[in-house]
């Protein structure tokens, strides 16, 4: 009967957390957009293009943060066979891919006016593009197996191997010469950003995080529901076979 | 009115700034819509299956 066991504790927790995540996301999104677009100064060098930062930097943080949580969940899923951990990874991947795409797009739109180019093959940009491809590779791999359980396992291994890219992204601006500027918010000695720009940036980061939490909870619930759907369909099919030919349709194993 | 159009011009960088914010809206709204649509369809099939199963038990 444990085939039908649903992770009831996760579902209860998720249902309790979801409204809070949505509330925080909406409030901070409104407040953050107001500050970013109306109540923050233009940069003395970059002018109004600095407003792209309030989209670009939070989505870059999310791109890496989402992947980090997927890597942890993959390890938990592989080591302890925790069923929700595997489904979380699958639920999070499209969100991470979306944030990474947004990071690349907004970065390109910022690079053209400030660097004079949409794209350069330097370490930071290339390693983030690779992160995007790892997300896509995960999504394709997980759904490429007839047995969804095997797909999840293969995806977990890919996620762990791909995690080597995270420190490369983070330190690429220090290890190699790149057009991309080094970290200015999370660095030793405090942020180099003026509070008038730091606040909208941090609030937008909270907004993106809360939106991700809301979405990933919904998506993990959906993954759980879909696994239950598969189990029920299998059981219905077996019952139908048993009715047709008694003794033949016994479950194997 | 000049204040509004001056604001919208973003110091000459309107195309870059507004495209970036537009991309954010498209990506985030897209993720929300896809998530909600899949949730709705899976909930519907789960309810249908559970009803079917409940009937099968009692029969």
Express each pLDDT in A209-232 by its tens digit. 999 999 999 999 999 999 999 999
Domain residue limits at A127: 30-38+49-180+192-227
Give the position of tokens 């011009």: B9
Is residue A208 in a domain? Answer: yes
Q: Residue B33 CB: number of other CB atoms within 10 A?
A: 10
Q: Is B45 a residue whose pLDDT tops 60?
A: yes
Q: Which of A49, A221, A232 sits opposite B13 (nearest CB)?
A: A49
The C-alpha of A189 sits at a distance from chain B's nearest C-alpha, in angstroms, of 30
A95 touches chain B (CB under 8 A): yes
Nearest to A158 by CA among A34, A35, A75, A62: A75
Position A1 scores a pLDDT of 33
On whether residue A204 sits in a domain, the answer given is yes
Nearest CB to B46: which of A37, A228, A236?
Answer: A228
Number of folded domains in chain A?
Answer: 1
Chain B hits for A226, Cβ within 8 Å? 42
A92 lies in some domain: yes
C-alpha A77/C-alpha A156 separation (Å) is 8
Residues of the domain holding B11: 2-58
CB atoms within 10 A of CB A38: 10
A84-126 pLDDT per residue, tens: 999 999 999 999 999 999 999 999 999 999 988 999 898 999 9
The set of long-range contacts for A125-130, using a CB threshold of 8 Å and a minimum separation of 24, is: A125/A178, A125/A179, A125/A180, A127/A165, A127/A168, A127/A169, A127/A172, A128/A60, A128/A63, A128/A100, A128/A103, A128/A104, A128/A169, A129/A104, A130/A165
Please answer yes or no on whether A218 and B35 come within 8 Å at the CB atom.
Answer: yes
Give dist(CA A18, CA A80) in Å, integer.
26
Element (H, E) at B3: helix B2-9
Q: Which two tokens stand for residue A127?
A: 């390693």
pLDDT tens across A2-17, in order? 444 458 889 999 999 9
Please give the residue of chain A at the shortest CA–CA distance from B27: A98
Query: Which pLDDT tens digit goes with each residue over A127-162?
Result: 999 999 999 999 999 999 989 999 999 999 999 999
pTM of the model: 0.90
B12-38 mean pLDDT: 95
Mean pLDDT within A188-217: 92
- Distance separating alpha carbons of residues A120 and A176, to the nearest angstrom: 13
At B59 the pLDDT is 47
User: Which residues of chain A does B59 touch, with a Cβ-Cβ cutoff of 8 Å?
Assistant: none
Given CB atoms, is A101 within the 8 Å cutoff of chain B? Answer: yes
Contacts of residue B13 in chain A, CB cutoff 8 Å? 47-49, 113
Residue B58 has pLDDT above 90, yes or no: no
Per the structure, the count of domains in chain B is 1
pLDDT of res. A186: 76
Which of A6, A32, A51 is the best substitution to test chain B (most B C-beta atoms within 10 A)? A51
Q: Which residues of A touch B42 (CB under 8 A)?
A: 222, 225-226, 229
CA-based radius of gyration for chain B: 24
A18 found inside a domain: no
């Amino acid at each position: 009967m444990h085939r039908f066991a649903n992770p009831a504790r996760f579902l209860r927790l998720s249902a309790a957390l979801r409204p809070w995540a949505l509330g925080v996301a909406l409030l901070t999104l409104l407040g953050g957009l107001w500050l970013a677009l109306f109540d923050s100064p233009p940069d003395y060098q970059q002018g109004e293009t600095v407003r792209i930062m309030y989209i670009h930097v939070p989505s870059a943080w999310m791109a890496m943060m989402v992947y980090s949580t997927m890597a942890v969940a993959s390890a938990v899923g592989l080591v302890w066979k925790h069923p929700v951990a595997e489904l979380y990874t699958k639920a999070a991947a499209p969100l991470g891919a979306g944030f990474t795409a947004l990071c690349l797009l907004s970065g390109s739109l910022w690079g053209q006016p400030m660097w004079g180019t949409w794209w350069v093959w330097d370490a930071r940009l290339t390693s983030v593009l690779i992160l995007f491809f790892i997300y896509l590779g995960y999504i394709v791999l997980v759904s490429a197996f007839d047995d969804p359980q095997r797909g999840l396992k293969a995806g977990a291994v890919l996620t762990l191997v791909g995690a080597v890219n995270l420190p490369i992204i983070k330190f690429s601006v220090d290890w190699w010469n790149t057009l991309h500027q080094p970290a200015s918010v999370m660095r030793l000695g405090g942020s180099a950003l003026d509070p008038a720009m730091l606040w909208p940036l941090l609030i937008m980061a909270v907004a993106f995080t809360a939106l991700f939490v809301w979405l990933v909870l919904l998506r993990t619930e959906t993954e759980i529901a879909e696994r239950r759907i598969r189990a029920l369909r299998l059981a219905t099919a077996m019952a139908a076979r048993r009715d047709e030919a008694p003794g033949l349709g016994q479950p194997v194993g | 009115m000049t204040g509004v159009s001056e604001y919208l011009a973003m110091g000459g960088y309107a195309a870059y700034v507004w495209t970036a914010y537009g991309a954010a809206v498209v990506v985030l709204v897209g993720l929300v819509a896809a998530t909600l649509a899949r949730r709705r369809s899976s909930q519907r099939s789960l309810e249908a299956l559970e009803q079917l199963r409940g009937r099968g038990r009692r029969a």
